[in-house]
Amino acid sequence: MELDTFRRELDAWLDEQDFAHSVTATGNTGLDAHMAQLSKVKRHTYDAGWMRWGWPERVGGLGGSTLLRGYLGEALTSRDLVEPGIYSMTEVLAPTMIDYARPELAAEMVPRLLRGDETWCQGFSEPGTGSNLAALTCRAVRDDDGWRVTGQKVWTSLAQYAQRCVLLTRTGDAGHGGITALFVDMDAPGITVRPIETMHGQPEFCEVFFDDVDVPIERMLGDEGQGWSVAMDLLPFERSTSLWHRGAFLQQRLQRLVEVSPSVPTDELGDVIVQLFALRACSRATQYRMAAGERLGPETSVDKVLLATTEQAVFDLVADSLDVLTGDDVDTERWRSDFLYSRAATIYGGSAEIQRNVLARRVLQLGPEA
C-alpha cells in the first residue's frame, strides 16, 4: 500500500463513518470517556484494516511502511477522534513486543493492543529514579518457574485501565547490566494500582505496587540483563510516530484557537506558527528515516525538545487568547486542561535537561561532563 493511496482511501472512509465524531462532541471530557473513545476508534479502524497497516504480518499486521501508521494517527488526531497521548502507547509498546518478546507471545498479544481490546502500560519510572532511570530498584528474583517481583513504579500512564505492563526490574547488580524487562499481567495477584491526581484534572498517571508478583519465565522481553537495551530501543519510538501525531494535535488545537478566539495576539501567533512548522518539518524527516529502516538514536532528542517547547508556546498563546482563568464551560475546561498538561511537556519522557545532556554528549560529542 502506497502512502498516497492509503491517505486518500482512509480519508474517504473516515468521512463516511458514524463513529467518527469528536470525543468532546459528547460533552464529556473525562479520561474514562477518552479511553472508551480510543477503544472504539481502534476497533473500527483495526476491523477495517487501517490499524493493521505498517505492522509486520507475524503480529497480525498487513505489512507496509511505518509511514502508514504515521498518517493514520495524524488523520485520527486531526479529526479530534483520539487524544494523542493515550493513542501513543500503542506506537511505543507494540514495537518493543515485536522486537523483544518471544514470537508466539508477540503474535498472541500485539493484535489485542492494536485492536483496542487491551490497554498496556509502561512501568519504567520509580519514586527514586526520575531522570536516572538506570538506578531503578524494583526487584525481580528467580524462583522455580519464573520471576517474583517486588517494588514500586510511578508515573505509569493508564495503569488503572491496563491489562498488561512492560516492566523494568532489577535482577542483577546496580547499573545498566542488572536490568531485565518483563511483560506482566496486571490482574496478577499482588499488584495494586493507585491513580495520581494531577493539576490538569485527568488521572492518567498511576503508582503501581508489586508485592511478590509471580511472572512466568516465558514473559521475559529479551534476555536476563538486557532490560536497558529494551528501554533504550523503546525511547526513540516516543519520538517518532507518536511525536508526529502530537504535532498534528497541536496543529488541530491551534487551528481551533484561531477559529474561536477573537483576540489572538498577532506577533505571538506568528512565532507559534513558525515553531510548529519547524517541529513538524523535523518530525517528518524522522518518520522517513524510520521508514527507511534507519536506527533512531540520540538525535531524536532534537524532536523531543522542539515538541516540548512548541507545545508550551501553543498553550501559552491559548492562555493569552481565551478566558482559561475564569471560564467554566466544557470547551474552556478542555483548553485549561490542555494548558496545564503542556506545563509538563518539558518534564515527561525525559526532561528538557536530560535531552540537552544527551545531545551534548552523544551528538555534539563534547566529552564527559565535569
Partner 1 sequence: MDTAERELFTAALRQAAASPAFEQGLEDMGWADALADDRRTAVATLFEIQGDHDVTSTALDTVIATALGLDKLGLDGRIVLPAVGGHAAPGTVDGNRLCVRGVCRGTPAGDVIAVTAAGYQVLQDVRMRPIAGMAPSLDLVEVSADVALDIAGPADWSAGVAAAHLALAHELVGTSRAMLRLAREHALEREQFGRPIASFQAVRHRLAEALIAVEAAQAAADAAWLAPGTEILAKAVAGRSARIVARHAQQVLAGMGFTTEHPFHRYLRRALLLDGLFGSSRTLARDVATEVLRTKRLPQPIPL
Spatial separation of the C-alpha atoms in residues 195 and 159, rounded to whole Å:
8
**1: contact with partner 1 by CB under 8 A:** no
Buried b (16+ CB within 10 A) or exposed e, 175-205: eeebbbbbbbbbeeeebebebeeeebebbbb
**74: contact with partner 1 by CB under 8 A:** yes
Q: Which of these, 64, 98, 70, lies nearest to 84 by C-alpha position?
A: 70
Q: How far is the CB of 287 from partner 1 (least distance, A)?
A: 6
Among 82, 140, 305, 345, binds partner 1 (CB under 8 A): 305
Active site residue 118: no
143 has which bridge partners? 146
Among 16, 18, 197, 369, binds partner 1 (CB under 8 A): 369
Q: Do the beta carbons of residue 51 and residue 40 sit within 8 Å?
A: no
Q: Which of these, 60, 96, 91, lies nearest to 73 by C-alpha position?
A: 91
**360: contact with partner 1 by CB under 8 A:** yes
Give 200 or 361: the residue with its C-beta nearer to partner 1.
361
**356: contact with partner 1 by CB under 8 A:** yes
Among 35, 179, 230, 282, binds partner 1 (CB under 8 A): 282
Among 217, 281, 292, 330, binds partner 1 (CB under 8 A): 281
180 has which bridge partners? 169
Q: How far is the CB of 175 from partner 1 (least distance, A)?
A: 22
Buried b (16+ CB within 10 A) or exposed e, 322-331: bebeeeeeee
Stretch that binds partner 1, among 80-88, 163-171, 186-194, 358-366 (CB under 8 A): 358-366
Give 197 or 295: the residue with its C-beta nearer to partner 1.
295
Backbone phi and psi for residue 137, each to the nearest 5 degrees, phi listed first: -125, 0
Q: Do the beta carbons of residue 366 and residue 360 sit within 8 Å?
A: yes
- State the cell numbers at 341: 498538561
Per-residue x/- marks for partner 1, 336-355, CB under 8 A? Answer: -----------------x-x
**122: contact with partner 1 by CB under 8 A:** no
Give CA torsion, residues 172, 208, 149, 225, to 10 deg.
Answer: -30
Among 27, 175, 270, 327, binds partner 1 (CB under 8 A): 270
Q: Do the beta carbons of residue 213 and residue 123 sit within 8 Å?
A: no
Q: How far is the CB of 149 from partner 1 (least distance, A)?
A: 35
Give 42 or 280: the residue with its C-beta nearer to partner 1.
280
**11: contact with partner 1 by CB under 8 A:** no
CA 7 to mean position of chain CA atoms: 23
Spatial separation of the C-alpha atoms in residues 362 and 370, rounded to whole Å:
15
Q: How far is the CB of 256 from partner 1 (least distance, A)?
A: 10
Q: Which helix (H) or strand (E) holds 167?
A: strand 164-170
Q: Do the beta carbons of residue 168 and residue 230 sit within 8 Å?
A: yes
Q: Which helix (H) or strand (E) holds 154?
A: strand 146-154
Backbone phi and psi for residue 303, each to the nearest 5 degrees, phi listed first: -60, -40
Among 181, 279, 290, 324, binds partner 1 (CB under 8 A): 279
Q: Given the residues 238, 268, 311, 353, select the one marked as catalytic.
A: 238
Per-residue x/- marks for partner 1, 228-267, CB under 8 A? Answer: ----------------x---x--x--xx--xx----x-xx
**293: contact with partner 1 by CB under 8 A:** no
Number of residues that bind partner 1 (CB under 8 A): 48
Q: What does each C-alpha distance from 109 to 52, 134, 202 come to in angstroms? A: 14, 27, 27
Give 179 or 254: the residue with its C-beta nearer to partner 1.
254
Q: How far is the CB of 98 from partner 1 (least distance, A)?
A: 22
Q: Report the interface residues with partner 1, using CB under 8 A.
A: 3, 7, 67, 70-71, 74, 244, 248, 251, 254-255, 258-259, 264, 266-267, 269-271, 273-274, 277-282, 284-285, 287, 299, 302, 305-306, 353, 355-357, 359-361, 363-364, 366-370
